[in-house]
Amino acid sequence: MKILVLQLTRLGDILCTMPTLLALRRTYPEAEIHFLVRKRFAPAALVTKPYDHLWQWDAKRLLGDFIVGKGSITDGITRLSETIHQLRQENFDKIINLSFSPSSSFITHLISQNKIPTKGYTRTEDFYLAVPDEPSGYVRAQVGLDRSNRRHIIDILSDVAQVKLVDSDLHPFAIDEKKEGIVCHLGASRDHKTWPSISWIGFFNRLAQTQNESITLIGSNDDIELAQEILTQIKSDKIINSVGKTSWNELISILRIAKLFIGADSGPLHAASLAGCKTLNLSLGNVRFWETGPTVKGSRVLRSREPQHLMSDIVFNHCKNMLDDGDQFSESALCTGESDLRYKVYGGTNFEPDAWGTVHWMYFGGPRPQFLGDLPEALKQIEEVTDIAVLQVDALKQNAEKTEIIGILDSLDDVLEIMRKSIPPISPLLEEFRGSKENIAPGSRDEVFDKTRQCYLNLKGRVSALQTKG
Partner 1 sequence: MSSENSDLRQHLQTVLSELDKLSQQIRDSHDFSESAELVLCLRELVQEQVESQYCENFSSTTHAAG
110 is a contact residue toward partner 1 (CB under 8 A): yes
**Cα–Cα distance measured from residue 219 to residue 234, given in angstroms and rounded to the nearest whole number:** 18
Helices and strands counted in the chain (H then E): 18, 15
| Contacting partner 1 within 344-403 (CB under 8 A) | none
**Which pairs with CB-CB distance under 8 Å and at least 24 residues apart come from 84-92?**
84/110, 84/111, 87/4, 87/36, 87/55, 87/111, 88/113, 90/2, 90/4, 90/34, 91/2, 92/2, 92/3, 92/4, 92/34, 92/116
Nearer to partner 1, 104 or 332 (CB): 104
Cβ atoms of residues 380 and 411 within 8 Å: no
Binding partner 1 (rule: CB under 8 A), the pick from 49, 192, 297, 437 is: 192
| Contacting partner 1 within 248-307 (CB under 8 A) | 288, 291-292
Binding partner 1 (rule: CB under 8 A), the pick from 20, 105, 112, 358 is: 105
Binding partner 1 (rule: CB under 8 A), the pick from 3, 4, 5, 13 is: 13
Nearer to partner 1, 75 or 450 (CB): 75
- Residue 8, burial from CB neighbour count under 10 angstroms (0-12, 13-18, 19+): buried
Which of the stretches 58-66, 255-263, 397-405, 454-462 binds partner 1 when contact is defined by CB under 8 A?
A: 58-66
Number of residues that bind partner 1 (CB under 8 A): 47
Binding partner 1 (rule: CB under 8 A), the pick from 23, 153, 154, 230 is: 153
Nearer to partner 1, 77 or 406 (CB): 77
Binding partner 1 (rule: CB under 8 A), the pick from 106, 238, 320, 441 is: 106
139 is a contact residue toward partner 1 (CB under 8 A): yes
Binding partner 1 (rule: CB under 8 A), the pick from 61, 93, 102, 402 is: 102
Nearer to partner 1, 107 or 217 (CB): 107
Cβ atoms of residues 106 and 8 within 8 Å: no
Binding partner 1 (rule: CB under 8 A), the pick from 46, 52, 53, 66 is: 66
Binding partner 1 (rule: CB under 8 A), the pick from 89, 91, 145, 349 is: 145
**Which pairs with CB-CB distance under 8 Å and at least 24 residues apart come from 87-94?**
87/4, 87/36, 87/55, 87/111, 88/113, 90/2, 90/4, 90/34, 91/2, 92/2, 92/3, 92/4, 92/34, 92/116, 93/1, 93/2, 93/3, 93/117, 94/1, 94/2, 94/3, 94/4, 94/118, 94/119
Binding partner 1 (rule: CB under 8 A), the pick from 10, 259, 397, 451 is: 10
- Residue 145, burial from CB neighbour count under 10 angstroms (0-12, 13-18, 19+): exposed
86 is a contact residue toward partner 1 (CB under 8 A): no
**Cα–Cα distance measured from residue 39 to residue 55, given in angstroms and rounded to the nearest whole number:** 8
Which of the stretches 25-33, 123-131, 226-234, 444-452 binds partner 1 when contact is defined by CB under 8 A?
A: 123-131
125 is a contact residue toward partner 1 (CB under 8 A): yes
Chain residues that interact with partner 1, rule: CB under 8 A: 9-10, 12-13, 59, 62-63, 66-67, 69, 73, 76-77, 80-81, 84, 100-107, 109-110, 121, 123, 125-127, 129, 139-140, 143-146, 153, 156, 190-192, 288, 291-292, 435
